[in-house]
């Protein structure tokens, strides 16, 4: 686990191997389009009883601690894109969003419904269990899983650095 931090973007590179760049090209450019690309959102219904978390024995292959936050993260991503004034080079507002796969995690109808709702700006309560309580692996009390709201349970993921929320 590592926390994400802001950093510099990739530098723009003029490719010279096929043709020599012409002088004054920056002033002659006409932008054709500005678009946004999403991939691997993995919106997950973490309360689905058919998920494999409880089959996890010693390895972490079926458990991703951040999955309970995927819908909130996708909503925040769409809100950020909607707030963009224009692209840094084209100055155009994004004309469309292209998604390139892995938008839902388990091919369930509810995850697809959530994805379509997020992308169209709708409102979601990502809860398919008891409306009064969370029913995923993170309330099991088992130290195999990240329990973000329990400061007393020293689960494996907190030991790896995941935060207490």
At 85-108, the pLDDT tens digits run: 998 889 999 999 999 989 998 878
**How far is the CA of 21 from the CAs of 13, 25, 33, 39, 50, in angstroms?**
11, 8, 22, 33, 57
Q: Is the pLDDT of residue 72 over 90?
A: yes
- Ranges 19-28, 31-40, 131-140, most confident: 31-40
Q: Is 77 exposed, middle or buried (0-12, 13-18, 19+ CB in 10 A)?
A: middle
What is the separation, in whole angstroms, between the first and last Cα of the chain?
15
With cut-offs at 50, 70 and 90, classify the pLDDT of residue 127: very high
| Angstrom distance (rounded) from CA 78 to CA 33 | 19
At 138-159, the pLDDT tens digits run: 888 888 888 888 888 888 888 8
Q: Is the pTM of this model over 0.85?
A: no
pLDDT of residue 160: 83
Average pLDDT of the residues of the chain: 87
Q: Is the pLDDT of residue 60 over 60?
A: no
pLDDT of residue 65: 82
pLDDT of residue 66: 85
pLDDT of residue 53: 77
Delimit the domains of the chain by residue range: 33-127
């Amino acid at each position: 686990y590592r926390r994400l931090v802001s950093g510099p973007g990739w530098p723009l590179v003029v490719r010279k191997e096929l043709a020599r760049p012409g002088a004054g090209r920056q002033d002659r450019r006409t932008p054709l389009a500005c678009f946004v690309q999403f991939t691997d959102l993995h919106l997950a219904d973490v309360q689905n009883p058919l998920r494999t978390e409880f089959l996890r024995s010693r390895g972490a292959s079926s458990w991703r601690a951040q999955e309970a936050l995927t819908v909130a993260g996708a909503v925040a991503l769409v809100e950020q894109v909607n707030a963009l004034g224009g692209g840094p080079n084209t100055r155009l507002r994004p004309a469309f969003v292209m998604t390139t796969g892995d938008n839902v995690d388990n091919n369930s109808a509810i995850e697809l419904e959530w994805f379509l709702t997020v992308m169209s700006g709708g409102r979601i309560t990502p809860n398919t269990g008891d409306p009064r309580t969370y029913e995923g692996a993170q309330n099991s009390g088992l130290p195999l899983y990240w329990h973000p709201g329990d400061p007393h349970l020293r689960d494996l993921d907190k030991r790896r650095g995941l935060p207490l929320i």
